[in-house]
Every structure is written in structure tokens, then in C-alpha cells.
């Protein structure tokens, strides 16, 4: 777990998740105002990282509490008669895709920051990612049994990737930070676009029409390798920040009886 890596790779993971139209329109048409990234970026950032922290580092009882809290929000996320595609935030197949994207992103970051894993370690890493889905509505038996089964699932999932013009506009504003105030968004937009493109697999770059050359790939790989060198010597608690902080915040909010997402 590396908090900085999660921050840098986060926008790319959102693109991956929203590359399935039902997931995209569920987010774009959501009636949960506090969950709208373009209108409440800090609140959405807190909710997302709190979920990641609880799902990966929390106790089982805390995962149950998180599931109940997210379920309350998801109850409002259903397609209407004018929605371009049908969707339901309680659909476990859609939630499985979201969890699969989170796992793929975490695996990519782990390889970049820590190097290749042995087979046994990779399988253990994969099994440990199951709570990313089972903390929501994904039943344990739905999580592919091993990495080979996951590879088959992932290949089939890529066949469903489709980003239409409306979703493209939404994601473009996200990855170029256009939804943020100009003094913040303009300086960081180009860098965030470059980082996001670098973290995306070719299938998602093509869907987003993002150009990327071999030279850019070399630059990106070099930058991530240099960053990894600065992260590896750090104590685990420092590397995990801000994930540890969000887990602490979740526990405090729960104890105070406040809304956690």
C-alpha cells in the first residue's frame, strides 16, 4: 500500500471503471449530491479513499459498517426513463468490474514501485484484493478463483469498454482538472493528464483517444522508477499516508455517530 501512488494513479482508475457505460452513467447521473466529483471533489476524494482504506486495512466489522453506509447512498443510484443505458448501483456485476479495476490498478502500482512478484506472492496479493468487491455487493464466489480466472474475466471485461462522447467529456474534465478552480486546475491539468495516460493500459487510452508514444512511455517509466526509489526506504506508516489517516477518520466518525461516506 502506497498512498502517494494511489493518489497519482487514482484518476486513471476512474477512467477504467467508467469505461463501462452503466458505471459511467450511474456516476454522471447520480442523485447523491455529495458524491458528485465535479461539484464536491474534496468530499468525493474523502469517501473514495475512506472506502479503499477500510476495504484493504479495516476490520471485518468495519467493512460491514462501510457496506451499510455505501448501500444508503447507492439506493438513489438507478437509471431513469431518460437514461441512455440501464444501471443500478446494487448490480454486483457492475461492482465486480469496479473492484477488478481497483485490483488491476493496485497490481500495476505494486509492480512499478516494488518490482515483479513471485507466483505465490502474486496470488496472495490477488486474494487480498477480494474485499474491494465483497465490501459491497460482490458475493465471495463471484471473485474469480485465481489470477488465471481473473485474466479470463478481465479479457471479457475489456470487450465491454465503450466511451461515448458524453462520457469522454466528463472524463476529460476530470483528468485535466477542469472541474477545479483555475488557479489549481490549470497548473496541474497537464501533469495529471500525462500521469493518467501513463497509468492507463492501451485499451483505455484508445477508448479515450489519448496519444502516447514509446518516448513518453520511457519517460513515464523513468519518472515512476525514480519516485519508487524515494518511497521504498520510508516506514510503512509514512508510505501508506493518507490511507491510514482516512481509516482513523472513519473510526472517529463511526464512534461519533457521524456520516462516514
State pLDDT tens for residues 174-213.
999 987 776 666 778 999 999 999 999 999 999 999 999 9
- The domain in which residue 137 lies consists of 3-256
Prior bond of 250 cis (ω within 30°): no
The count of other CB atoms within 10 Å of the CB of residue 6 is: 21
User: CB–CB of 9/109 below 8 Å?
Assistant: yes
Q: Look at the pTM and tell me if it is higher than 0.75.
A: yes
**How many domains in the chain?**
1
pLDDT surpassing 60 at residue 92: yes
pLDDT (0 to 100) of residue 24: 96
User: CB–CB of 1/57 below 8 Å?
Assistant: yes
Is residue 40 situated within a structural domain?
Answer: yes
Is residue 261 situated within a structural domain?
Answer: no
User: CB–CB of 214/230 below 8 Å?
Assistant: no
User: CB–CB of 234/228 below 8 Å?
Assistant: no
Kindly state the DSSP code that residue 33 receives in the 8-state scheme.
Answer: G
CA geometry: angle 76, 78, 79, nearest 5 deg: 140
pLDDT (0 to 100) of residue 46: 85
Residue whose C-alpha is closest to residue 78's, from 26, 16, 145:
26
Residue whose C-alpha is closest to residue 106's, from 191, 9, 244, 18:
9
The count of other CB atoms within 10 Å of the CB of residue 73 is: 17
Q: How confident is the model at residue 83 (pLDDT cuts 50, 70, 90)?
A: very high
Is residue 197 situated within a structural domain?
Answer: yes
pLDDT surpassing 70 at residue 34: no
Amino acid at each position: 500500500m502506497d498512498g502517494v501512488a494511489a493518489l497519482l494513479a487514482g484518476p486513471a482508475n476512474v477512467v477504467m471503471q467508467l469505461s463501462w457505460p452503466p458505471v459511467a452513467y450511474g456516476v454522471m447521473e447520480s442523485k447523491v449530491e455529495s458524491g458528485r466529483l465535479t461539484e464536491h471533489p474534496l468530499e468525493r476524494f474523502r469517501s473514495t479513499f475512506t472506502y479503499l482504506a477500510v476495504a484493504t486495512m479495516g476490520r471485518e466489522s468495519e467493512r460491514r459498517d462501510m457496506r451499510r453506509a455505501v448501500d444508503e447512498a447507492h439506493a438513489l443510484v438507478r437509471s431513469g426513463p431518460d437514461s441512455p443505458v440501464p444501471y443500478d448501483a446494487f448490480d454486483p456485476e457492475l461492482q465486480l468490474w469496479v473492484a477488478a479495476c481497483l485490483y488491476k490498478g493496485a497490481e500495476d502500482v505494486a509492480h512499478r514501485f516494488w518490482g515483479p512478484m513471485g507466483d505465490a506472492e502474486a496470488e496472495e496479493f490477488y486474494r487480498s484484493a477480494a474485499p474491494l468487491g465483497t465490501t459491497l455487493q460482490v458475493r465471495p464466489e463471484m471473485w474469480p478463483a485465481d489470477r488465471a480466472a481473473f485474466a479470463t474475466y478481465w479479457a471479457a471485461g475489456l470487450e465491454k469498454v465503450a466511451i461515448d462522447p458524453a462520457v469522454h467529456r466528463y472524463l476529460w474534465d476530470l483528468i485535466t482538472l477542469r472541474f477545479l478552480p483555475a488557479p489549481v486546475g490549470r497548473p496541474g491539468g497537464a501533469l495529471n493528464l500525462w500521469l493518467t495516460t501513463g497509468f492507463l493500459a492501451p485499451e483505455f487510452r484508445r477508448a479515450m483517444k489519448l496519444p502516447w508514444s514509446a518516448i513518453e512511455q520511457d519517460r513515464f517509466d523513468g519518472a515512476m522508477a525514480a519516485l519508487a526509489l524515494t518511497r521504498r526506504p520510508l516506514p510503512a506508516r509514512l508510505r501508506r499516508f493518507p490511507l491510514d489517516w482516512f481509516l482513523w477518520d472513519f473510526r472517529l466518525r463511526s464512534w461519533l455517530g457521524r456520516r462516514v461516506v
